[in-house]
Every structure is written in C-alpha cells, then in structure tokens.
Structure 1
Amino acid sequence: MAAVAPVVSLHEQHPDDLWNKICIAFPVIANEPLMQEYLEEQVLNVLELICQHQLSTFIEDYVVDKIQHITMQKIVPDFWSKFCKRENEMQGFESFRDAVYSVYNSLISFCPVFERLEKLRNISGIHRVVNGENTLLGTFKVIIRSSLLSQLPLNHPKITEDFYRISFKVFCNSDNYVGDQDDSPEDMVHCSGCEQEIGQCQCQSIILVFHEVNQKLIELDLLERLAGEVITSLIHLRIENHVEESCKGSFDTSHISTLEKWLDNVVMGWLRRIFNGSSENVKSEKKTEEAIKKFKQKLAHFLYETYTRTRIEQLFNIIIEYPDSQPAVEDLRICLQKTDLRPYLTQKLQRALETRLLHPGVNTPDILTAYVAAIRALRQLDSSGVLLETVTQPVRQYLRWRDDTVRCVVSSLTEEGPSELADELVRGEALQLDEGVPSDEDTENWEAWNPDPVDADPSKTSKSRRTSDIISMLVNVYGSKELFVNEYRTLLADRLLSQFSYNTEKEIRYLELLKLRFGESQLHYCEVMLKDVYDSKRINAHLDSDPNFNLDKQQFPATAMILSAQFWPPFKEETLELPSFVKEHLQTYTKAFETLKGNRTLCWKPHLGSVTLEIELKDRKLNLTVSPIHATIIWHFQSKNQWTVEELSQIMHVPSTVLRRKIAFWQSQGLLREISTDTFLLVEENPSRSKCPVPAEMVCEDEESESAMASAHDQREEELQVFWSYIVGMLTNLDSMPLERIHQMLKMFASQGPTAVECSLQELRHFLDRKVREHKLLFSGGFYRLPKP
C-alpha cells in the first residue's frame, strides 16, 4: 500500500526511539487507539522533537493518508452496510440513524488526533491548505464526503427517504394534534404520526432522533449532499398532494394565501428544524438563515407552479362555472405573473376546448354559452385580451363553420328570460369591429401604457382587444354585421308572422337596443317591418268598421298582415290551392284594400297565417287553430270521407311528401285514420271516447312551428345569383379571368348601391367552383372561362 513506503524511509533515517515516540503521540499510525494515560506534556515533547527533525509536514501527510485509508477501508463500508436491509419504513429510519451515528462517532474518535496535528502546526509555524481546507478537521470532512459519495449504493435514496418521510409525517401530526387536540377522537387507537398504538407512541423519540441526526449531518457538512435531493423530492411531493387535496373541485374560494401560510408554517417549519438541529426557538446562524431563505424562494416558486398547473388542468370547468369561479380565475392570474406557464395554459385550454366542446355532439347554443363564459373569464385572467384571442381562435373558426350560429346568437340577444347576451344588449354599447387601424384614443393615457405580451398578434391593436365586448366578439367571428342584421330580419319576420296579435312593443324595444349596436341605417328594413304590422292593424280595423265592405259579416271573416314585399326577407316558395269560397272572400278583401289605397294591391301568401276552425263530429266538437294547409286538408274531408294522398296533392297543389307530414297532425287528433297505404278516412265517432264525457269545446293549437322565411343558405344563394350575370358579361368580353380579377371587378361594379351584396374571395371561389361542376364554367391554369357553345 502507499502508506508503507514512508514508514520504511522513516526507520532507515531515524532511530526506533523517535518512531516509538511518534506512535505514542499519533497511535493511529500503528492502528492503535489513543492512549489517554499519556500526559499532554509528553505529547508536547514529542511534537517539539518532530519539529526539531523537520518532520512536521511528513507526519501530517502520513497521518492524513492513514486516516483516509481507514475511512475508505472501514468507516465508509460500515456506513453503507446499514443500508443493505430494509423491510419497512421504520427499519429504514433506524438504519439511516445508525449509519449517521457511526460516521459521527468516527469523527469524534479522530478529533484528538487532529487537535495534536493542529498543535504541531502551531509549534512548527507551518500553515497549509490540504484538500482545499485550512483546518485539518475540514480536511477530514472532505475525506468523509468524498469517500461516502464515491461508494454510493443503489438503494441509498430509499433508506434516506424513509428517515425523512417518517420525520415529516410525525412533525405534521404533532403540530396538528397540538392545534386540534380538543377535536381529536377519544377512541383513537393508533397514532397518525408513527402509526403505533397510542400507549406505545414513538413520536417524541422520533423527533429527538431527527434533531440529533440532522445536527450531526450539519457538523459533517453532509446534510445537503447526502439528503438534499431526498428532502427536496419529499417536499415537492408533499406540496403536490396538498395542493391537489386543497383545490380539488373548489373554484369559489381563493387558495393562494392559505397555501402560502401552509408553506411557511408546515414545510418551512420542518426545514428550520432540520437546519437548526433542535427546536425552532434556537437562533440560527446567519448563513443558515440565508440558506433557508433561498430554499423558501425555490419552494414558493414550486408551490405557485404546482397550483398553476392544477388550475390549468381544471380551467375548462372553471370557465364553464364562471362567474361563480371568479376566485379561482383571480388566483390563476396572480400565479401566471409568477410563473412562465402561459404557453402551457394556451396549449392545454385549446386542447380541452377542441376535445370537449368543438364536435358535432355539442349543440350550438351550448358552444356559444361556453364561448361567452370563456370571454368573461379570460378577460379577467388577461386584461390585454391576447390570451383570449389566442385560445379562442379554434372556437371562432368552428362557430363560423356551423350554419346555425348566427341564428342562435340573434335568438339569444332577443329572447325572454335571463340571458348573458340579452344583458349585454341592454348595456347599449357601440359595436367594436376589428379594423386593425390604431386611433388617436390609443395614446390618450400614454403614461399607463404597457406593451402587449410577446404572443400578441402584431396586426391588431391592443385597444381593440381591450374594448371589444361580447357581442362585438361574436360579430367579429364573421367579420360582418350585415350577416347578423339579415338574420335578425328573418327572426323578426318569423316572430311577427307567428303571433297574429299585432303587439310589437317588445320587438320595438329590442330594435332600439340593436340600433345602438349596429346603427340605424343597418336596421331600417326592420323599422319598416314593424311599421307594416302597425299599419295592418289600423287597416283591418278600418275595413271592418266600414259599412261599404261589411267584412266582419262575411261567412269567412279574415284579417290580413299586409307586408311591404321589398323590405321583408324572402319567403319560402310554397303553393297551396285554397277552397273557392275562401279565395272569394280574399278577393273581396283585396278590392276593399284597393279602394282604400288607390294604386296599391295585395298578393296573397295562402300558405301563411292561421285559421280558426270549429269542427262538429258525431261525438264531439272541437275548436282548433291551425295553419291554412291543415285547414284545407280537413275541409276536403267535409265533401268526401275518404281521400288518398295523391288526390289531395293534385287538388291542393301541394307535394305528397308535405301532405303526409301535415296529415299526421289530424291523425294525432283522432280525426283521420289510415286504412291503407296513403289512404285516409274521416273518423266521425271514436268508440274509445264514448265511455268518457267529451267537453263541449276543446282548443288545440297546431304545435308545428316552421319558419315561413327562406333559409339563410337559400337567401345567400339567391343573392349570389346577382353576380352571375356580371360574371358572364365579363368572361364574354375578356375571354378568361383569374379569381382575384373577377373579385375586384365585382366589388367595383356589382357591389354598389344601398342593397349591395358583398362576397368574400373564398365565397366567390366556392360559387365559381360550383358553376364549374355544373358545366357552366371551365377552369384551367388558374383562369375561368365560359364553355364554347
């Protein structure tokens, strides 16, 4: 071994008497224990003798080498041998304790040797740095650390973790018990800290051992190197579990302050006990306090990050429950400022929206409700609006793809009862559309200006993100308020044509609110529609009271809803041949109207409106309000008891598929019965009803409520047909044109005037491609041309 050569050299140069004296002063050289019976005076004489022979450096190096050899060959293997057996946590706790005690006792046994070496240094006047340390005790600690870490066994973290896990558990239980001992159950059998029976509780002894072991590890400078990673891992796990238990499904309470107090009282209280080595009342050194302070900063950041990730995982549910979940949103806003998890939030929330909301299984009203809640919640989360703009981009695209989005939005704006969109409409703010042009107002409060986040879209102004309200954002999904105004016209038309009461007070109120949003010019047609209803009521009252017409005394008294055709949305193209006596009365009404209005006449829509019927059967009498087509069907059964669908279709000029659906209503009322395929018989007496009294009158309204207006898709197709004549003319004169040129010329010539129809580039491409499929256009090399005749 390396330590043998110096011994041989020593014997060759010096007499045995000197060597024996050196072994008396430093018995570790001869592997002997320190002899306490030798007086210090004898030791000092030996040290002086060593200095006289100029052997101080040699002896110091030799003793240090010998101690290092003993450490490597005996102390360290003995330390790690305690980590070999582990059957349970308590055994691991004891093994770690015994290992630390053994290595600390080794330090104690070598302390007299280092004291004598220090005296030798003082006598010889030599000051050296060995292994980076000025003192020999520090040198020994370096030897211990390097030797221990060089022989790490694979299972050492488990034993260390057992020791600190049990200690942490006992520590938490002791604090909880002291604070809540009055609430502790009297019949508790096992201690929740050490899990032993109450009579055999070991918590106090565990805490005592915990302090002693940590004190020894601190003296050896081994605490951070041997147990730092395990302690950090345990604390992180404890923080994660506590955050999950505290915040699971609880969105109506703020948890930040509670978690911060818990971290300071429980976690940091445990750490202070570790670093102080005894109770909390012992005053720590300045270095230890700085280390604890830095550790607390790291743990606080981990706490915020864990809490933020937990809330991000729950963010979809938090948004759905907003505004009840406002405390959770506010917590998340504060935590996002302390962490760098903004990209993680964007990714997770977008994925949650796509998987849980944006699929055909969710109704459009539910998607809109979630979108409105997301607008409110994300506005509180990020006042700049950048997060809202980024996260909800897939939602806006999906809503643009759904055909019924606009109708659902407009219906929510003007529906009865509590509605977030209706409340937004009542506020009466002006509509904010994305213009992308900064205004002078952006620089008014320049002292309070803050830059947008790095993920902001540079093409949009920060003012538009901050000021756009919910209705404005819904309109911006399509980028055009004309689409919403047209949908409102259709919805208003359905409401006015379905109520038959001429009561327009509610609709006038909604119209005035919409004017504040969309402007009066956009809603001029709707004003005319409401005026038509008022005029119709006045005209009907005048004609009924005029003795020259006597309309109220006719066999079939009628009132009409007189509409200005050019201001109302297009109607469905449906035909219906009414009974002759009904047409005669309608003609009489037309003549009376022409007499009143002079140069104006009426064009009747026979399939619209309602008819009040009184039906007398053998066993009952019914009063019903139905549509004209229902009334016409049952009227024909007055002249003949049995009809086929084909016969009714020919005489009524109604398609057979429509008739079958309408006849089902009379079947449900028990008036018609299908005796064979598409053949129906009038049922004047129902045996099942004869046993029970039949009321003299029964009012049954037609439950079917179909829109009388053409669908938005049909209206748009009709509007786009306006462009077709322009396109044919352009291609006739110019032979072939690309899509962009056609779009520019249409904007220049066809999209002018008060009733101009707008068409986006993408919509025009779809329209032209459809014409190509219909063989009305040819497309080649990016150019459209007309087919040759």
Structure 2
Amino acid sequence: MTTTATPAVLAFVEDKWQEAFSNLNHHQPGISGLMTLSKAWKIAADFLRPRPLSQPRPKYNPVEVKMAFDVLGQTRLLYTVLENFLDDMHQQEYLIKHEVEEYMSKYEETDDPRIIAQLVNRLVEWFNAWHPLAEYDSSSVPDLWLADSQDDAPKSLGHVVTDHFTVAFHTHIYSILPPSFSRGFKVLVASTLPISDDMSDNVKLDQSAWESFFALGLVERYESLIASVCYEHIEGYIRKTCEGKWSEKMLTGMREWMTKKMVPWMCLPYARGAKNSEEAGKMMSGVGSRFDYHVCKVLCDLRTSEIFDMIVDFPDSKPALEDLKECLHRVDQRSNLVSTLRKANKKRLLHPGADTKDILTQYVSIIKCLRVVDPPGVLLYKVADPIRRYLRDRPDTIRCIVADLVGDGENGTSLVDDNDPLVPLVSRDVEDYTDVTWEPEPLDAGPDFRANKPGDIVSTLVSIYESKDLFVKELQVLLAQRLLNVTDGNYEKERRNIEILKVRFGEAALQVCEVMLRDMTDSRRIDQHVQSQKPSLLHPIIISRHFWPTLQTGTFTLPSRLRAVQEEYAREYTAFKPDKKLVWLSHMGTVKIEVELQDRTLEVDVPPVSAAIVELFSERDRWSVDELIAQMGRIDRPSVSKGLLVLVDLGILKEEETDNYRLLEIAEEPSSEPGAVPASRSAISMDELPGAQTAQQQQAEQVRMYWKFIEGMLTNLGLLPLDRIQTMLKFAPGYDRSIEQLGMYMEAARREGLVVAKDGMWRLNR
C-alpha cells in the first residue's frame, strides 16, 4: 500500500530545507557558503585532531582558526565539531593506554614511586600535546564568543574547548589507570612531605609536580588520599616525638611544627593560586582547622594509651596530663579515656597479685591525675567505681588506710600528702543552691555523681565504705597495737596522731582512743605504786576492758613460778584498788629470761609461750610437741610451734625429728648449707605478738549470730544477691549491720565452704 504526502506537507518540508540550506550557505549565491563552511570545518577539525607525540602539531594562523570557529558558531556546528574531536580522542586512547600499562608494569615489579612520577610527567605531555589551545593564550582569540542557540549565554572559545577537552581527557585517563596507581600515587605524594633523613631515596618534588597533579585532575580525584597522607605523617611524627615524654608539654610544639613545616606544604594542594599569605590563610581556614583537630586527636589517643603509666609517674607527668586536658576540650574522647583506663586497671591493678597498699597508692594517683584532666570529677567518678568496689571486698583495705593516716606505712610512703590541709570528712548534705560558687552537673555526669562527688583524698578513701564507723574501729585497733608495742613510755606520737584524727573524724569518734591513751599513762603510775609497796619482776599494762578493742584470746597454763609472780602482783593491785580485779592475758607480752647452759648464758626477751617451754625443758632435755601441749593446758598447736621456733632460732633448742626437740647444752656450729636459717636473728618482733582483733574480724563475729537467718533464706529462696539478703536481715531482731559488714561475713563464710558466690549471687554450698 502506498501513500502520498499532501501538498501542504510537501510545501512545509521544502520551506524547512530551503531555510537550512540558506543557513549553511550563509545566504550566499550558489554553494559558495557551503564551500566556506566546508573549509572552516576542515580547519577546525584538523586543529583539534589528537596526534601521537611523535607527530608534531602543525602551525596554524590564529586568525584563520578564529574565523573557522566563527563560521561554525554562526551555523551552530561548534558543538558538533567538539563532539567529533572527543570521538577522535577516544579512538586514539590506545596510545596512552599502552604507555600506562608499561609504566605500571614496571612499578608493580619495583614499587619505586619514581616510576609513578615519570608516568605523571608522561601523561602531562599527552595532555599538552592534545590540548587544542596549548600553544595559544587567551589573547589570541579575545573577541570570539560562541552560542549554540539563541537562548544560551555566549561563551568564550577557549573556555568551551578547554572544559570539554579537560573533562574528556581526565575521564579517559581514570578509565585506564589500574588500582595499583592509587597506592603508588600515595607514596609519591608522601615523598613530597617535609621529611628529612630517612626519605633520601624517595623522589623530591617541587611545586611543578603539583601543577602536573592539577593538570591531570589528580588532586580533586584523590583528595581523600592526599589528606590521608597528611594525617598519617602527622600521626607518625607525633608518636615518634611525644611517645613516653611526659615531663614537658608537647601540644604547643606540635602546633608550631604544623605551622612551620606542614602549612607551607599544605598550601600546594589546598591553596593553589594564593597570591599572599593572607589569601592562603583564608583558603585554608577549613583545612587548617581540620588538621589541628587531627593533631589534638592523635596526641589525645597517644596519651590515652599511656594513661596508666602516666598515673604511675605522677607528678612528673603533670605536663602531659595538662596536654591531655586541652586535647579533650578539642576532641570528644572522654568515653575512650574512661574505657581505656578501666581496662588497664582491671588488667594491671585489680587482681589478687597486687598488694592492697599498691592499689591504694595507684588509686590516690588516679584521683590526683584525673582532677588535673577533669576538675569537675566526672571522669574520676566513672573510673573509680570498679576500684572502690574491689577495695571494698579486700579485707585489709581499711587497715592500710588507717595505718597511713597514723603514719604507720610499711614502706615509708604515704597516701596523703603532708602538705595537704587537715579538713573534716566531707558530709553529703543537701546542696545549697544559693551559693555563688554552685555549678550544675556536667552533661556526661551519672545519676549519682552529685551524691558521690568526692572531696579531699582522705574523704575519698573513707567514702569507699558507707559508714566511717569501720574506720574509727580500725583506728582503735591500730592504736591499741601501737600502744602495746611502746616500751619506753613515750606516747607523744600517738597523742599527736589522735589530735590530727580528731580534725578529720570529730572528737566524739576519738573519745575511746583518748581513754586508751590515758590507760597507758595510768598503768605506769599504778605499776610504780605497786613496785614501791613490794618490788616485782612483773610490769604489766593494765587496760580498761570496756574501752579497748577485743583482744585475741589464747590462754594457756603458765609455769608455777610465773603464776606465783602474777598472783603476788594481783594481791598488791587489789589492795591498792579494792573495787577492781585483774584478768591476765598470759599469752601477750614478753618475758626476759636468763638461760644458763653448759658453754654459754643467754639473756633474751621471748613471748610467754617460749618462756613456759624453757621452764619445761629445765625438767628434761627432750620433749615432743604433743607432750608440751599436754603440759601447757589450753593452747593450740600453732602457738606452741611458734614458741619452739623462737627458741630454735636462738640456738637453745634443736629439732631432731619431726615435732621432737632437744635442748642444746653445747652450741653447734652454724650450718654452711645453702638456705640454712641463721640462729642470730632477734628472738621475736613485737609485731608478731598476738594483738587486737581487726575491725573486720569483730564485725564478722557480730554478724555470725545471724547465720541461721541467712541459712534459712538461702535454703528456701535459693540464689539471692547481697542487697536482698541485707533487706531481709533487717527484719531480724537487733540487726543493725551495714551491707559492707554483711559482705565481709559472707566472704568469710565462702572461704569456710558454707556458701558459693557467682556473678553477685549467693547460694548454699551443698
């Protein structure tokens, strides 16, 4: 079936054809306009044609080129010519691709960044060779403005050609570069950094290298890679310079290094075209802030990883802590600091192998250090919680703290600085919101931060426990032991300690201690009176039973001569104080004895148990431990063994067989065998004497009466947490113990095998 166009359609097509022909022919007679257009097309196409580097570009008259593009612009064929040029570029792409493969193959074999530099230079040569206007500046075509349609704004010829060419060339280059190029380019960029000695073998590039990078669009494409090079260089330099150096502030020096060394380098990629330093500063304002942030973050991460050792080294590490404080204001890494320090404490501090004194010393250092880093105390509150809970479960924590408060530290170190002012313990009263110094809680403070906010060091240590009563009781125990150990009658040191502790704990809490101190002076006065009435070899210490801590029990039968001396002294005391009676603690104190043997005479101070053993050996030369126990009455085997050990060390006795001892009438030569114990050490230290029960021991004894209630709970209810046991025990008659005291007793019950604890839950051990 055939169809024919209507006359109207044919007329419309003919008009359009004539109009197009007229435009192409420039309204000239014949086809002269078409000939001019054809010539202009040829000149423009040849001018834009990409050529191999071995083929030189022909020289063109700029005026002719301009006229040719003018003709094409008027006929709206400029973009068609450009598209044809881009197609030619795509067809010639294999020339560049072949060279890229050769260079990258060499680089992958050697990992030499100089090959990447050679490749970049070669690509710049291709870029300049194919750039249509590479040999012409903008003044060559100043008045040529082109528009593809009447509605488009006119554009300069140079701008149109350059933009299209640059985009197309970059696109082709990126499509043929292998993934390994980014790795090599990163090394190449790193080689331009201001690194000295160890980079001598790397390529040293100047500003012209960065011009090549910009020409190929590498700076924009690999912007994040260039930034990562800078980040890594900053991180490496800071770690190399600052690691382990805590005695001086480093942050200011790092910022000066950035200004002098890194900023000039950073102007190359980030401030291209800046005419002066002020203009460069404006262009790099955002970049500079970002890299300063990175400096603070790297230093903060470094100091965070070293925080435990910095605390150990305090106060020498105070400058580093001040740097950390400034970095934390710039970088939000507070939670990371808390997490890191808590992990380090758990791994290196809170374990059975660490001594309680060392844990307390580190805890005090943590308090001081974190107050430098975070004065409000939020970080300290979050870090200290596991330490406080661990110390609360240690049986000797209170004793260590109290011993330090009265200046009885074992290693000569003190938890409390002598220069710190003496202040009363901080009380947790209701806040005074009218106080002009009141401040709201920090944003990251916990719900109990205000209630548990610590004061001075002593208040912080005492606040480990809910009540200060335990500390007061332990003070009484320690003072009792110290008073009993005084042999010269000088109690000024203890009196001074009591006055100091009154400031912290209050006078009411230390009244019992004053009674104990008065007992010691009264005891000397009473002894002087008794001795004046009837001289005696016995010089007892007489104490008030109701005001002293419970003394450790350990009675045994004294030898007859010692008992006679005690009874005679007791009669004289009763005559002096008819309303009072002496109850002897025969296992405590020392006895000065004179032992006459065949070849020597010894005068030594020994405990009463050892004196009783010596008297028994005066009856016969050999005794077994069981025989001695039978003769001495109510006494346990460890006490007898300890008394025998004292005499063995003095060279008075010798163990011939297990638990069988012989009197050494004639001294034996010291053993020369490795590991032999010399017999020259002192008889006994006063610290080894039986003393007062610790506060924990007393509290455990008091809680023991409620074991039946606890046993019934665990039998009927199964697993129970400690706080639930505490709540239910409050219904028991007369129960007024704290949860810490209950925890001490439960730990003692666990050691005895009565209960089992797992994940904070307690059950009976069946």
TM-score scaled by structure 2? 0.82
Relative distance call for 1:38 and 1:590 in structure 2 (3 A) is closer
Could you list the per-position Cα deviations for residues 700-735 of structure 1 after superposition, in whole angstroms to 9, with x for gaps in the alignment?
Answer: 44136144223444312332256689999xxxxxxx
1:764, distance to aligned residue in structure 2 (A): 8.4
Instruction: Please point out which of 318, 329, 332 is paired with 2:324.
Output: 332
In structure 2, the gaps of 5 or more residues are 1-19, 26-30, 672-679, 712-723, 755-762
Displacement, 1:334? 0.7
Q: What does 1:125-274 align with in structure 2 at a 5 Å threshold? A: 127-128=152-153, 135-168=160-193, 171-173=194-196, 193-195=199-201, 206-207=204-205, 210-218=206-214, 220=215, 222-274=217-269
Cα distance in 1 for partners of 2:46, 2:681 equals 118
Distance 1:234 1:146 in 2: 24
Quick one: structure 1 residues 68 and 415, their matched pair in 2 at CA, closer, same or farther if it must change by over 3 Å?
A: farther
CA distance in 2 between counterparts of 1:766 and 1:412 reads 25
SS of the residue aligned with 2:258?
helix
1:73 Cα shift?
4.2
For the residues of structure 1 that align with 2:56 and 2:137, how far apart are their CA atoms?
12
Q: Is structure 2 residue 627 aligned with structure 1 residue 647?
A: yes
Residue 276 of structure 2 aligns with which residue?
283
Compared CA separation, residues 538 and 102, structure 1 to 2 (3 A): same
Contact 1:23 1:29 in 2 (8 A): no
Residue 649 of structure 2: aligned partner: 668
Matched with 2:676 is: none
Aligned with 1:710 (options 672, 687, 693): 693
Which residue among 614, 617, 621 is the counterpart of 1:634?
614
Q: Which residue of 1 aligns with 2:720?
A: none
Once residues 67 and 727 of structure 1 are traced to their aligned partners in structure 2, the CA distance between those partners, rounded to angstroms, is: 91
Asked whether the equivalents of residues 82 and 161 of structure 2 are also in contact (C-alpha less than 8 Å), the reply is no
SS of equivalent to 1:673: strand
Residue matched to 1:731 = none
Among candidates 418, 442, 453, match of residue 452 of structure 1: 442
Deviation per residue, 1:605-652 (Å, 9 max, x gap): 000111111222222221211111111111211122222212211111
Give the 3-state SS of the residue equivalent to 1:567 in structure 2: coil
Report which stretch shifted further, 506-515 or 637-646: 637-646
* Local SS of the residue matching 1:615: strand
Match of 1:504 in 2: 491
Describe the SS at the equivalent of 2:191.
helix
Letter in structure 1 aligned against 2:97: P
What one-letter code is carried by the residue in structure 1 that aligns with 2:195? C
Task: Tell me the CA shift for residue 528 of structure 1.
Answer: 0.9
TM-superposed CA distance for 1:111, in Å, is 4.0
Which amino acid is 2:436 matched to?
N
- Residue 519 of structure 2 is aligned with which of 518, 532, 552? 532
Does residue 138 of structure 2 align to residue 121 of structure 1? no
| Alignment of 1:596 onto 2:576 | yes
CA drift of 1:760 comes to: 3.0
Moved more, 141-150 or 537-546: 141-150
Distance in 2, matches of 1:769 and 1:572, equals: 18
Distance 1:23 1:114, change over 3 A: farther
Q: Deviations over 1:521-548 (max 9, x none)?
A: 22221111111101101111122223xx
Tell me, yes or no, if the aligned pair for 2:650 and 2:683 is still in contact at 8 Å: no
* Structure 1 residue 758 corresponds to structure 2 residue 737: yes
User: How many angstroms does 1:255 deviate by?
Assistant: 0.3
Compared CA separation, residues 284 and 146, structure 1 to 2 (3 A): farther
Aligned to 2:559: 579
Q: Which amino acid aligns with 1:678?
A: D
Alignment of 1:306-325 (within 5 A): 306-325=298-317
Residues 420, 138 of structure 1: alpha-carbon distance in 2 compared, 3 angstrom cutoff:
farther
Distance 1:95 1:716 in 2: 83
Deviation at 1:517, TM superposition (A): 1.1
Identity, % of aligned positions:
25
Report the secondary structure of 1:614's partner residue: strand
Q: Is the 8 A contact 1:26 1:113 kept in 2?
A: no
1:27 pairs with 2:22: no
Shift in CA distance, 563/68, structure 1 to aligned 2, threshold 3 Å = farther
C-alpha distance in 1 between matches for 2:466 and 2:384: 15
CA distance in 2, matches of 1:507, 1:604: 25
Distance 1:366 1:37, change over 3 A: closer
Distance, in Å, in 2 between the alignment partners of 1:620 and 1:216 is: 102
Report the secondary structure of 1:261's partner residue: helix
Residues in 2 aligned to 1:239 and 1:535: alpha-carbon distance in whole angstroms: 74
Instruction: Out of 595-604 and 762-771, give the one that drifted further.
Output: 762-771
RMSD value, Cα: 3.9
Structure 2 Cα separation of the partners of residues 23 and 610 of structure 1: 124
**What's the CA shift for 1:685?**
0.8
Matches within 5 A, 1:446-485: 449-454=439-444, 456-461=445-450, 465=453, 468-485=455-472
For residue 195 of structure 2, give the secondary structure of its aligned residue in structure 1: helix
AA in 2 matched with 1:105: N
Task: Give the Å deviation of 1:473.
Answer: 1.4
Letter of the 1:283 partner, please give it. Answer: N
CA contact 1:364–1:404 (8 Å) conserved in 2 = yes
Measured in 1, the distance between the counterparts of 2:746 and 2:571 equals 44
Please tell me whether the aligned partners of residues 654 and 662 of structure 2 are also in contact (alpha carbons under 8 angstroms): yes
Residue identity opposite 2:527 in structure 1: N
Deviations 1:725-754 (A, max 9, x none): 9999xxxxxxxxx967754445xx626xxx
Contact 2:308–2:344 (Cα < 8 Å) also in 1: yes
The separation in 1 between residues aligned to 2:198 and 2:707, in whole angstroms, is 83
- Give deviations 1:253-294, integer Å, cap 9, x for gaps: 11000111111111112122445679x9x63694x5434222
Map of 1:351-390 to 2, 5 A cutoff?
Answer: 351-390=343-382
Deviations 1:470-525 (A, max 9, x none): 11111111111111111111111111122233321111111111111111222221
2:117 equivalent in structure 1: 94
Stretch of structure 1 that moved more, 309-318 or 470-479:
470-479
- Structure 1: unaligned runs, 5 residues or longer: 1-5, 174-190, 197-202, 691-697, 729-737, 752-756, 776-783, 785-789
Q: Matched residues in 1 for 2:705 and 2:745: separation?
A: 15
Structure-2 change in CA distance of 1:405 and 1:73 (3 Å): farther
Q: Tell me how far 1:356 sits from its aligned partner.
A: 0.5
Tell me the distance in 1 between the aligned counterparts of 2:154 and 2:599.
121
**Cα deviation, residue 49, structure 1:** 4.0
- Matching residue within 92, 97, 100 for 1:77: 97
CA contact (8 A) 1:424 1:471 kept: no
Match for 2:487: what amino acid? F
Question: Is residue 45–residue 85 contact of structure 2 (8 Å, CA) maintained in 1?
Answer: no
Contact 1:253 1:328 in 2 (8 A): yes
AA aligned to 2:173 is L
8 Å contact from structure 1 (residues 100, 217) kept in 2: no
1:121, CA displacement in angstroms? 2.7
Give the whole-Å Cα distance in 2 for the aligned partners of 1:313 and 1:648: 61
SS of the residue 2:332 aligns to:
coil
Structure 1 pair 426–540 and aligned structure 2 pair: CA distance change class (3 A): farther
The 5 A counterparts of 1:7-86 are 15=34, 18-28=37-47, 38-50=60-72, 54-55=74-75, 57-67=76-86, 69-70=88-89, 73-74=92-93, 77=97, 80-81=100-101, 82-86=103-107
* C-alpha separation in 2, matches of 1:100 and 1:79: 9
Q: Is the 8 A contact 1:128 1:134 kept in 2?
A: no
Match of 1:410 in 2: 402
CA distance in 1, matches of 2:91, 2:298: 42
Does the C-alpha gap of structure 1 residues 41 and 670 become closer, same or farther in structure 2, counting only changes over 3 Å? closer
Deviations 1:446-480 (CA, angstroms, capped at 9, x unpaired): 5x7354132x1223427x62x51111111111111
Q: Which one has a larger percent helix, Structure 1 or Structure 2?
A: 1
